[in-house]
């Protein structure tokens, strides 16, 4: 058990939300299966996925991340593929698909609640999530785990400058900060570049926009699932008390 009287190893532990605390990517994959039935196209699901990905890549710069942006990309794709034969009813079906995604039940990943419960007394926990403010706030509220976090931040992009600004705002030194997430690109690399600590917990699927193209040359922590986190932190704290310079 972690000793609550000792000084904790980190002043702030932040969690990514989508595909770290709850399932998200699978919602987008399910939407594709519906979309292919709505859009009049001879494409396979894989081909449609690739086409939509190109649209999203352009549109993320205009609309940002999230389901609203994705819905606009689905409509744009339908118009381009369907041409003048596309009917208002088909656009309506896509809008309903997007609204369904926005209202979908939040499915926490295994061990999330028990882990947050175990850590909340000792650590200052926070959510740092990328996306649209209203959408991410609503998901956090519906998740049932909002109460374990002392604060949350919704940002449009997670890069080194974003983390620098956030840590300054919260008065936390990078060396005293641990970020946990499923994306090497957004949750791990920028935090390491800043001099912080980062723990990668991979999800079963990585969204194409979050893939890292170059081989990684930096060392980072990795666990199989979030349920291993309390034990891992305990081990780190024990190492630290034996040798204060190892972390």
Q: What's the length of the chain?
A: 247
Give the torsion sign (CA, 64, 25, 13, 201): negative
Q: Least separation, in Å, of the C-beta of 154 and Mg ion? A: 13
Q: How far apart are the C-alpha atoms of 40 and 90, rounded to whole Å?
A: 9
Residue 141 neighbours by CB under 8 Å, 6+ apart: none
Q: How far apart are the C-alpha atoms of 168 and 173, rounded to whole Å?
A: 8
Residue 164 to residues 44, 114, 153, Cα–Cα distance (Å): 43, 30, 13
Q: How far apart are the C-alpha atoms of 180 and 17, rounded to whole Å?
A: 9
Q: Least separation, in Å, of the C-beta of 201 and Mg ion? A: 10
Please check whether residue 203 is in contact with residue 181, taking contact to mean a CB–CB distance below 8 angstroms. no
Q: Least separation, in Å, of the C-beta of 162 and Mg ion? A: 14
**Which stretch in 83-91, 111-119, 183-191, 232-240 sits in contact with Mg ion by CB under 5 A?**
183-191
Q: Least separation, in Å, of the C-beta of 5 and Mg ion? A: 34
Q: Which C-beta is closer to Mg ion: that of 150 or that of 209?
A: 209
Q: Does 237 bind Mg ion (CB under 5 A)?
A: no
Q: Does 143 bind Mg ion (CB under 5 A)?
A: no
Q: Least separation, in Å, of the C-beta of 18 and Mg ion? A: 4
Q: Which C-beta is closer to Mg ion: that of 18 or that of 153?
A: 18
Q: How far apart are the C-alpha atoms of 69 and 247, rounded to whole Å?
A: 40
State the greatest distance between any 2 C-alpha atoms of the chain, in Å, as a whole number.
71
**Which stretch in 9-17, 106-114, 163-171, 194-202 sits in contact with Mg ion by CB under 5 A?**
9-17
End-to-end CA distance of the chain: give it in Å, rounded: 20
Q: How many residues bind Mg ion (CB under 5 A)?
A: 5
Please check whether residue 167 is in contact with residue 173, taking contact to mean a CB–CB distance below 8 angstroms. yes
Q: Which C-beta is closer to Mg ion: that of 16 or that of 237?
A: 16
Q: Does 18 bind Mg ion (CB under 5 A)?
A: yes
Q: Does 115 bind Mg ion (CB under 5 A)?
A: no
Q: Which C-beta is closer to Mg ion: that of 160 or that of 206?
A: 206
Q: Which C-beta is closer to Mg ion: that of 174 or that of 181?
A: 181
**Which stretch in 12-20, 115-123, 134-142, 231-239 sits in contact with Mg ion by CB under 5 A?**
12-20
Q: Least separation, in Å, of the C-beta of 61 and Mg ion? A: 19
Q: Does 153 bind Mg ion (CB under 5 A)?
A: no
Q: Does 182 bind Mg ion (CB under 5 A)?
A: yes
Q: Which C-beta is closer to Mg ion: that of 122 or that of 130?
A: 130
Q: How many CB atoms lie within 10 A of CB 79?
A: 15
Residue 46 neighbours by CB under 8 Å, 6+ apart: none
Can you give the binding site for Mg ion, defined by CB under 5 A?
A: 16, 18-19, 182-183
């Amino acid at each position: 058990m972690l000793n609550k009287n000792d000084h904790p190893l980190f002043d702030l532990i932040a969690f990514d939300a989508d595909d770290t605390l709850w399932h998200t990517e699978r919602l987008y994959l399910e939407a594709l299966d519906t979309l292919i039935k709505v859009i009049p196209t001879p494409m396979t699901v894989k081909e449609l996925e690739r086409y939509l990905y190109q649209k999203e890549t352009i549109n993320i710069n205009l609309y940002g991340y999230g389901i609203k942006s994705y819905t606009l990309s689905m409509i744009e794709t339908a118009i381009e593929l369907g041409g003048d034969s596309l009917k208002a009813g088909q656009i309506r079906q896509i809008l309903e698909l997007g609204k369904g995604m926005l209202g979908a039940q939040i499915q926490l990943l295994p061990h999330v609640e028990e882990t947050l419960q175990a850590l909340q007394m000792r650590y200052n926990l926070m959510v740092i999530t990328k996306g649209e403010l209203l959408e991410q706030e609503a998901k956090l509220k519906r998740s049932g785990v909002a109460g374990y976090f002392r604060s949350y931040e919704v940002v449009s992009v997670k890069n080194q400058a974003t983390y620098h600004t956030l840590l300054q705002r919260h008065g936390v030194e990078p060396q005293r900060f641990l970020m946990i997430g499923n994306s090497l690109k957004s949750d791990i690399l920028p935090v390491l570049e800043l001099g912080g600590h980062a723990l990668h917990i991979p999800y079963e699927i990585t969204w194409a926009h979050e893939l890292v193209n170059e081989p990684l040359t930096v060392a980072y922590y990795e666990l199989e699932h979030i349920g291993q986190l309390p034990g891992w932190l305990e081990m780190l704290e024990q190492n630290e008390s034996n040798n204060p310079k190892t972390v």
